[in-house]
A and B are shown apart, each in its own frame.
Chain A
Amino acid sequence: MADAPDTERQAVEPDAREVLSVSQLNDRIASVIQNTPALNGVRCIGEVTDLHQNSTALYFTLTDGDAELPCMIWANRYREMDAGLEDGTEVILEGDIDYWVEGGKIDLKPWEVIVVGDGDQAAAVERLRSELEERGWFDDEQKQQPPAFPERVGVVTSLRGDARYDIQNAIHGQDPTLDILVKDATVQGSNAPTSIANGIHHLDRSEDVDAIIVGRGGGSDSNLQAFNTERVAEAIFTANTPIVTAIGHTDDRLIADQVADVATITPTAAGEYTANSREEFIASEIEPMEQQLETAYETFQQEHEHEQELAEAVDEAAAPEGLPPIYYKAAIGMLLLLLLIITALWLGVL
């Protein structure tokens, strides 16, 4: 719109002092779009992603890998088209750019769909998936179990993303004593694969990082493409530290998830998985064991005290009544001596 002629620009230039409601501004945007010939009857080529349908309409995103455009086709019109769209289908769409005033969203409403073939991107991902599967990168034998009691957890994600805070809050909700090392990474776009892979390598080399969470919040299929690249898959596969993926998505399997030691469906789930609940562990393991130890010792002590009492009683019962034996021996000795003296006197020896 930067090169719009002056007359057109004046027509839409707002009065500097005018304060519009959201509805008024959205109406103004809609009228600009509707009255711009360049946005009517456009033809656009791209790949279908994030396709979902309800009884009213078919929704999907058209992407060329670098940019995206939301699209919508009414269900009855789509039935007439007989296009058979799927995620990854490459299409040429012809239609109008439309602006949804209540939601403040722009989309392309095609009236014609020409299927070109399977999308290059989708086909490339499937080829890579097959190749890595053949190499054994998805095998269970390759997977490491993250520790139950880590001291420090590494996180590779955008420092400014919600995912980072979801992971942090989930970890510290389980165990407030855990240290967290967050490595900033670009998680979408052409630089993302290198950035994510470098983040994994960096934390993997760090001392005392016991597990690494790699993740981001949800997004469209094309936003998540970095997690379908060999670069990221290799960084995960070659890491010595157990890797937990935390990519907010629900439908398609990402290659990163398949290579990871553990795949979780959201950043929060990854945080909760990686950090054991300290309180829960104390309540379920430590306290019962303390109780068992005390019970075992009390029983043991009672047994032994009983035995001791019994032994003392036996000793007591075995002992003869009256004076101790030494007195009797002394008395016998004295009597024998007396007998000797008497005998000696009687024999006149003394």
Chain B
Amino acid sequence: MANDSAIHDRLSRVEEIIEQLDADDCDLEEGTRLHDEGQELLAEVREILDEGSGDVVEIE
């Protein structure tokens, strides 16, 4: 399956987190938790991009 939605959903959530941090509408503890979540999501996107072996299969 194509990875479009998996990547798009994660990046959208990271954008939301950045907006929440910019808006400054949570306490320090919650902000730290959001920051960790954002870092984790971006690492997952990199993992998704690294998946796959680049195999070439021929069908006669």
Contacts and interface: CB of A to CB of B under 8 A. Distances in A.
Interface residues of B, number: 36
Most buried by B among A292, A297, A299, A301: A297
A175 B7 CA distance: 16
B20 to A, nearest CB: 9
A180 B60 CA distance: 14
A121 B3 CA distance: 43
B17 A293 contact: yes
A296 B21 contact: yes
Contacts of A299: 21-22
Given A177-B53, A184-B58, A301-B31, A286 B24 contact: no
B28 A304 contact: yes
Nearest to A206: B59
Contacts of A184: 58-60
B28 A301 contact: yes
Given A296-B21, A300-B21, A301-B28, A181 B2 contact: no
B59 A210 contact: no
B31 A300 contact: yes
A151 B58 contact: no
Nearest to A179: B55
B14 A293 contact: yes
B14 A180 contact: no
Given A292-B18, A293-B17, A297-B31, A159 B1 contact: no
Contacts of B3: 147, 149-151
A151 B1 contact: yes
Nearest to A148: B4
B4 A147 contact: yes
A82 interface: no
Interface in A288-332: 289-290, 292-293, 296-297, 299-301, 303-305, 308
Interface in B1-56: 1-4, 7, 11, 14-15, 17-18, 21-22, 24, 27-28, 31-32, 35, 38-39, 42, 45-46, 48-56
Nearest to B22: A296
A140 B39 CA distance: 39
8 contacts: A150-B2, A159-B58, A179-B54, A286-B46, A289-B14, A293-B35, A297-B31, A299-B21
What 4 pairs between A and B have smallest CB-CB spacing? A147-B2, A177-B52, A296-B21, A149-B3
Given A149-B49, A182-B59, 18 more contacts: A149-B3, A149-B48, A151-B52, A172-B54, A175-B54, A176-B54, A177-B52, A179-B56, A180-B56, A181-B57, A182-B56, A286-B46, A293-B21, A296-B21, A300-B31, A300-B35, A304-B27, A304-B31
